[in-house]
Amino acid sequence: MQLRFLAGAVGAIGLLAATCAAAAPNGRSAPPVTTVAASPFSNFFAMFSAVPRTTVEFPGNHKPGTIIISTQQRRLYLVLGNGQALRYGIGVGRDGFTWSGRTTITDKREWPDWTPPEQMLKRRPDLPHHMAGGPDNPLGARAMYLGDTMYRIHGSNEPQTIGTAASSGCIRLTNDDVIDLYNRVKVGTTVIVQQ
């Protein structure tokens, strides 16, 4: 009976409960896990997610509030201070679309519209030229725009891509995680992307 209910619940929420297939970074064991809830479904999703949001040890001298992105680990760290950070699983750019550097968040938007850049439309003429924000939009529930680039930290309507290299250079989080991050950071936040 309980198993049937659980299977029904997973089916009912469809893609939102999809799981990722990411390995632990560098094969090391993970530090103690503390899940931070951002919505009523956070704990439910964490049961199925291969990349749960957790508080981890994070030594270094980065200012609290700084975002450090490790494209190799496929993890985003929000520095909390006192040697800790909040770690999120992310999707990153596929081969040929990776980048690194230091920038800032220059804009934040809820349920953002999406206009694919011309280079993307040349590669993928099947894409729409513009898409209004909403659950079907590939930018997901929130977007944080990085510098004067076309890159963003954004949500995704494809949670199964978290932990993979599948984007055109943007950093993807689950919608639940991107809402949590969006609520914690502001315009002007420093973002450091490392390979």
Q: At 8, is the pLDDT very low, low, confident or very high (cuts 50, 70, 90)?
A: very low
Segment 33-91, tens digit of pLDDT: 333 334 444 444 444 456 899 999 999 999 999 999 999 999 999 999 999 999 999 99
Q: Is residue 9 part of a domain?
A: no
Total domains, the chain: 1
63 part of a folded domain: yes
**Cross-strand bridge partners of residue 47:** none
- Note whether 179 and 155 are within 8 A (CB): yes
Q: Tell me, yes or no, whether 176 lies in a domain.
A: yes
Report if residue 125 sits inside a domain: yes
Q: Is the residue at 92 inside a domain?
A: yes
pLDDT of 120 reads: 86
Measured in whole angstroms, the distance separating CA 125 from the mean position of its chain's CA atoms is: 26
Active site residue 154: yes
Rounded to an integer, the average pLDDT of 22-43 is: 35
Residue 137: exposed, middle, or buried by beta-carbon count in 10 A (0-12, 13-18, 19+)?
buried
Pick the range with the lowest mean pLDDT from 48-57, 81-90, 104-113, 176-185.
Answer: 48-57
The single residue listed with the structure tokens 């809402």 is: 179
CATH number for the domain spanning 156: value is 2.40.440.10
Q: Which of 62, 129, 130, 154 is catalytic?
A: 154
Decide if 10 is inside a domain. no
Q: Is 20 a member of any domain?
A: no
Domain that holds residue 157: 30-194
Q: Do strands 75-81 and 67-70 pair parallel, antiparallel, or not at all (unpaired)?
A: antiparallel
Residue 2 placed within a domain: no
- Going by pLDDT thresholds of 50, 70 and 90, the confidence category of residue 148 is very high
Known catalytic residue: 170? yes
